[in-house]
Amino acid sequence: MHNVETFRDLQSEATEWRRYLHQNPELDYRVHNTARFVTEKLASFGINHIETGIAETGIVALIQGEGGEGPTIGLRADMDALPIIEASNKPWSSQIPGKMHACGHDGHTAMLLGAAKYLANKRNFKGSVALIFQPAEEGALGGQRMVQEGIMDRFGISQVFGMHNMPGIEVGKFGICDGPIMAALDEFDILVKGRGGHAAMPHQTIDPIVIAAQIIIGLQTLVSRNTDPIESLVISVTKLNAGEAYNIIPEHAELAGTVRTLSPELRDFAERQILASARGIARGFGADVEFEYRRHDPVTFNHTEGTSLAVNAARKLVGTAFVNDKIKPLMGSEDFAYMLEARPGAFIFLGNGSSAAVHNPKYDFNDEALPYGIGYWVNLVETALAA
């Protein structure tokens, strides 16, 4: 098993790839140039089983080990960027105005390519590795689509692993936990249907703005008064639209927001109780509501066996003290969750140092983290598929 020094050789090359991808960001499923770049690199490493065009622009490549028969494990990287105007002032800043790799998916892609190069060269494992490069992680469900298009069965993948960089964790350190590591993401819309009229004669109206205000407070008490304080429920009202004039009480008010949970029970509770609370409050004032609730990413759930494999692989790379295996889950979401619904495995965070936060215009992936990510993937394969 290797410490990080083994992978320093790959750092300068991986840095070139990463900065090229950073300068050429692409959005959602339209990662055509990125996918072409990845495919060409994989082929140049001597990998001959490469399937492209999965979920439009996704790629799965298979590397067979030389250690004999064995299972296939999946390693996943995401390739898409964000619609942000970059302000990092780095020499390798985005050359495409309004698009930016602000979540480090350029680094994720470069690290999986670095691991691919190493693994294709050494092949010191049994079974096979499936390298999964997915489009559209940022809200467009590319991971879900790759699962729906059958990659797990088609490539015989029995376990699947993901990695994301994390600003605020030092470079060379890892963070992970067993069980839920990222939250489920849902969205809701509430239309409050009141009765409009003259603002000077409120008694002749049913004011949807006052009702909306009560509903917002009511939703916060679902968190503070109806949820076990040890459990996590986030309800954020993020849109509020009503009215157009100083002297008119409008007919309607619209609220919308997001819900984050770590358990299926709390997710069901939130969906049920947001409606019950909003409707109850509105009816108390003689109004009513229309309600829509949409479920998006499920909980990113780390399985126990996959988590301990991941912890071992990282510890062999950087030592026990630099791998925190009991981090607190994050209330953000990840569409890798769909892959972990389909197969057991684990998702780990890789330190990105003191950079700006992800999705910030000043963010940049830290190239010093590249050999750690590459080394983690290699150690994971050589641990899970020890010949």
In the complex, the residues that contact Ni ion under the rule CB under 5 A are 103
Contact 102, 358 (CB under 8 A): yes
Kind plus residue range of the DSSP H or E element containing 186: strand 184-193
207 or 334: CB nearest Ni ion = 334
Rounded to whole angstroms, how far apart are CA atoms 139 and 222?
26
103 or 381: CB nearest Ni ion = 103
* Least distance in angstroms from the C-beta of 236 to Ni ion: 20
Rounded to whole angstroms, how far apart are CA atoms 68 and 35?
30
Residue closest to Ni ion, measured at CB = 103
136 or 171: CB nearest Ni ion = 136
* Least distance in angstroms from the C-beta of 134 to Ni ion: 11
* Least distance in angstroms from the C-beta of 249 to Ni ion: 43
103 or 119: CB nearest Ni ion = 103
* Least distance in angstroms from the C-beta of 115 to Ni ion: 18
103 or 235: CB nearest Ni ion = 103
Rounded to whole angstroms, how far apart are CA atoms 28 and 107?
17
Kind plus residue range of the DSSP H or E element containing 130: strand 128-134
Q: What is the largest CA-CA distance in the chain?
A: 83
Contact 191, 252 (CB under 8 A): yes
Rounded to whole angstroms, how far apart are CA atoms 158 and 136?
23
* Least distance in angstroms from the C-beta of 10 to Ni ion: 22
User: Token pair for residue 148?
Assistant: 């729906």
Collect all residues with Cβ–Cβ distance below 8 Å to 221 and sequence separation of at least 6: none
Collect all residues with Cβ–Cβ distance below 8 Å to 119 and sequence separation of at least 6: 63, 125, 129, 377, 378, 381
* Least distance in angstroms from the C-beta of 333 to Ni ion: 10
358 or 385: CB nearest Ni ion = 358
